[in-house]
């Protein structure tokens, strides 16, 4: 064999060897990622013809599949589509899936590792594979109350059991109907997708967990926690006043109402939502202490990966003026309603922040439990002693401060109102975060466009009553 032929032979052998190595590597290490790739149409065809498992709220399916007489064999349905869309997401032949339909896809299609034995039995007996059932933590009463209370206003509500982290309600408005995207009429599905994605109201955006907004005065809870952790008490005196010029700046901040003097207690500052007091407190504490406190409540970390939640943030290197604005929830502070619910929950739970979760259990077609979620502690945001002081400060807000519209007879409710500027062209955002002792629930309400003036929203005119309705629905 002459030299050139030998070289070609070696090259061909090396190429075959590389192909074999790549195929072996792909089979062993890439099978799962290739199979779950949303662009893999072969897998999508197979999944779309699967008897997909139910997603449950209580004992009620909010996503289910039924047999149909077409080439796909099973139709995915959402009996209460718009109500639960932010949690269930959609399952579409054309556009893949989102939220729980995406994160729980392996279990819902019967393809998870825990279902291997059942797949083998189904194959041996010739049975059609059936997906697992996903049990959520949602409470139908809280979900309906939040959705109804928000009405046609764009916004979000998150409620959770602060002792466990179980999410009891997750609402985002305006919402959308995932049945339109799950349709087997692919032309109709395409039209629905185009209409939804081009809608300026963004009905497919989960405002409760997948977008961040300036939290306004609700962030004063974090600043208060930082102050208490730093050695202050609810009765500590802090400078207030009618106005405050920011350090090294000509900008001046004012208060919506009278705070009660030029020097007031920390409790009074929270009760009246005193901007000048908290701005000066922020400068006194410094950005590092406030940031550290925010991180203890969950800022900077992603929670609820099941639905693709995003992390909330506190600015990295603010100057003194920016720190003052950050202390009142402005400048570049940005949070999801989920995150602000976690803040209220941590305070209510004596400083312990529980990891939020929305899937409590996954059960196979034979009803055997495949996975079970046990409540887990995420962090200790503050000492129990300091948390109880902040609890009483929040109770003061509801009993005689800016949050009186959230009062419930016979129930201890602590809360904090919030107002945040948006783009300067629309009314400010309205916030209210709260907790109750009976039931043990924390709630965050965000109204993106309340149509109110700053004074009206800071007084809890819109968001406070929504939180009240959610708490009452759970009693």
Known catalytic residues are 217
Task: Please name which of 374, 456, 457, 361 lies closest in space to residue 135, comparing C-alpha atoms.
Answer: 361
Residues 89/99, Cβ–Cβ less than 8 Å: yes
For 170, counting Cβ atoms within 10 Å of its Cβ (0-12 exposed, 13-18 middle, 19+ buried), the class is buried
DSSP annotation string for 298-313: TTTS---GGGT----B
For 293, counting Cβ atoms within 10 Å of its Cβ (0-12 exposed, 13-18 middle, 19+ buried), the class is buried
Distance (Å) of CA 82 to CA 15, 165, 177, 206: 54, 24, 5, 12
Distance (Å) of CA 126 to CA 107, 118, 123: 20, 12, 5
Distance (Å) of CA 306 to CA 153, 174, 252, 303, 428: 26, 21, 43, 9, 31
Alpha-carbon distance of 309 to 300, in angstroms, equals: 12
Count of other CB atoms within 10 angstroms of residue 123: 10
Which residues touch 354 (CB under 8 Å, ≥6 apart)?
A: 162, 163, 164, 165, 345, 375, 376, 377, 378
Q: Is 99 left (phi over 0), alpha (psi -120 to 50) or beta?
A: left
Residues 389/228, Cβ–Cβ less than 8 Å: yes
Alpha-carbon distance of 39 to 432, in angstroms, equals: 41
Q: Phi first, then psi: what are they for 135, rounded to 5°?
A: -95, 120
Which residues touch 199 (CB under 8 Å, ≥6 apart)?
A: none
Alpha-carbon distance of 131 to 60, in angstroms, equals: 17
Task: Please name which of 58, 148, 140, 136 lies closest in space to residue 104, comparing C-alpha atoms.
Answer: 136
């Amino acid at each position: 064999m002459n030299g050139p032929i030998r070289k070609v032979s070696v090259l061909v052998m090396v190429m075959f060897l590389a192909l074999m190595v790549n195929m072996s590597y792909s089979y062993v290490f890439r099978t799962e990622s290739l199979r779950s790739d949303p662009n893999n149409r072969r897998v999508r065809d197979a999944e779309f013809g699967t008897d997909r498992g139910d997603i449950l709220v209580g004992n009620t399916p909010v996503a289910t599949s039924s047999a149909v007489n077409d080439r796909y064999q099973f139709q995915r349905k959402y009996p209460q589509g718009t109500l639960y869309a932010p949690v269930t997401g959609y399952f579409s032949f054309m556009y893949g899936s989102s939220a729980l339909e995406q994160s729980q896809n392996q279990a819902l299609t019967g393809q998870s590792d825990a279902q291997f034995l059942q797949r083998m039995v189904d194959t041996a007996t010739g049975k059609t594979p059936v997906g697992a059932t996903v049990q959520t933590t949602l409470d139908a009463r809280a979900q309906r109350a939040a959705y109804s209370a928000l009405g046609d206003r764009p916004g979000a509500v998150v409620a959770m059991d602060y002792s466990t982290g179980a999410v009891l309600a997750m609402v985002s408005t305006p919402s959308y109907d995932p049945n339109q995207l799950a349709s087997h009429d692919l032309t109709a599905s395409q039209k629905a997708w185009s209409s939804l994605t081009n809608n300026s109201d963004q009905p497919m955006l989960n405002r409760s967990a997948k977008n961040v907004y300036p939290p306004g005065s609700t962030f004063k809870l974090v600043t208060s926690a930082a102050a208490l952790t730093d050695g202050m008490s609810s009765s500590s005196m802090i400078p207030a006043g009618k106005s405050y010029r920011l350090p090294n700046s000509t900008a001046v901040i004012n208060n919506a109402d009278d705070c009660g003097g030029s020097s007031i207690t920390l409790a009074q500052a929270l009760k009246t939502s005193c901007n000048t007091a908290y701005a000066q407190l922020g400068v006194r504490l410094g950005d590092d202490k406030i940031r550290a406190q925010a991180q203890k409540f969950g800022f900077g970390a992603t929670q609820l990966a099941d639905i693709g939640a995003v992390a909330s943030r506190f600015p990295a290197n603010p100057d003194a003026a920016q720190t003052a604005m950050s202390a009142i929830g402005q400048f570049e502070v940005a949070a999801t309603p989920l995150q602000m619910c976690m803040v209220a929950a941590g305070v209510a739970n004596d400083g312990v922040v529980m990891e939020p979760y929305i899937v409590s259990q996954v059960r196979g077609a034979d009803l055997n439990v495949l996975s079970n979620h046990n409540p887990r502690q995420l962090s200790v945001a503050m000492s129990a002693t300091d948390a109880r002081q902040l609890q009483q400060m929040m109770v003061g807000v509801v009993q005689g401060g800016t949050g009186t519209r959230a009062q419930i007879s016979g129930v201890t409710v602590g809360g904090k109102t919030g107002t945040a500027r948006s783009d300067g062209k629309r009314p400010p955002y309205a916030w209210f975060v709260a907790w109750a002792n009976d039931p043990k629930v924390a709630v965050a309400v965000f109204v993106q466009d309340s149509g109110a003036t700053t004074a009206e929203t800071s007084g809890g005119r819109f968001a406070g009553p929504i939180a009240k309705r959610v708490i009452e629905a759970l009693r």
